[in-house]
């Protein structure tokens, strides 16, 4: 019984050798796409990909990966204010802005990077003076709120609450 099944399989395999596959609709040979092996359905095309590329223009990759610039304004619990201009590329945010320090009444430039997954915004800021900020924020509509931690160049740490708005 097993020998008979093997012989049937061998016959089927021999029937599918390259010479017999030349007229097969699924063969890679030939210069035309022949739908289901029917010559009357020959549409003189090498592949389905050729049809798609010739009939549908691909959207600009840059437009799909880059959103319009947005602005994020955060008020921190230490009475400082963060103003950022952000752009999104491939799901990641980057940008720059400034921080108005309440206790020193001065402005410090910032570099920002982060990501938005669902309503969760993770953001990292670096000041020119070396302080690092990490924000874990929730975004609902244009409102943004959450906590942050600050690490100074000398290693001292502070944490607080941030709230603000995201403008597109």
pLDDT tens-place string over residues 5-42: 767 776 766 665 554 444 444 444 444 545 455 666 55
Count of C-beta atoms within a 10 Å radius of residue 42: 12
pLDDT reported for residue 91: 76
Residues of the chain with pLDDT below 50 are 19-31, 33, 35, 48-49, 51-66
Domains of the chain, earliest start first: 23-58 (no CATH), 63-167 (2.40.128.120)
pLDDT reported for residue 26: 47
pLDDT reported for residue 151: 95
Pairing of strands 120-127, 92-101: unpaired
Q: Which two tokens stand for residue 103?
A: 């206790």
Q: How far apart are CA 53 and CA 106, in angstroms?
A: 55
pLDDT reported for residue 116: 87
pLDDT reported for residue 128: 87
Contact in structure between 130 and 153 (CB atoms under 8 Å): yes
User: Which residues make beta-bridge pairs with 107?
Assistant: 100
Q: What is the DSSP code (8-state) at residue 59?
A: P
């Amino acid at each position: 019984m097993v020998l008979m099944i093997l012989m049937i399989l061998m016959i089927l395999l021999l029937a599918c050798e390259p010479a017999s596959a030349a007229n097969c609709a699924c063969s890679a040979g030939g210069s035309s796409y022949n739908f289901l092996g029917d010559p009357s359905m020959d549409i003189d095309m090498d592949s389905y990909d050729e049809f798609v590329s010739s009939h549908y223009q691909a959207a600009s990759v840059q437009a799909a990966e880059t959103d319009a610039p947005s602005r994020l304004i955060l008020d921190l619990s230490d009475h400082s204010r963060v103003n950022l201009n952000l752009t999104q590329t491939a799901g990641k945010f980057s940008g720059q802005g400034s921080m108005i320090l309440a206790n020193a009444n001065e402005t410090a430039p910032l570099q920002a990077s982060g990501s938005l997954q669902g309503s969760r915004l993770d953001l990292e800021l670096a000041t020119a003076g070396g302080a690092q900020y990490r924000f874990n924020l929730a975004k609902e509509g244009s409102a943004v709120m959450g906590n942050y931690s600050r690490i100074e160049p000398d290693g001292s740490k502070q944490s607080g609450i941030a709230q603000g708005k995201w403008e597109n």
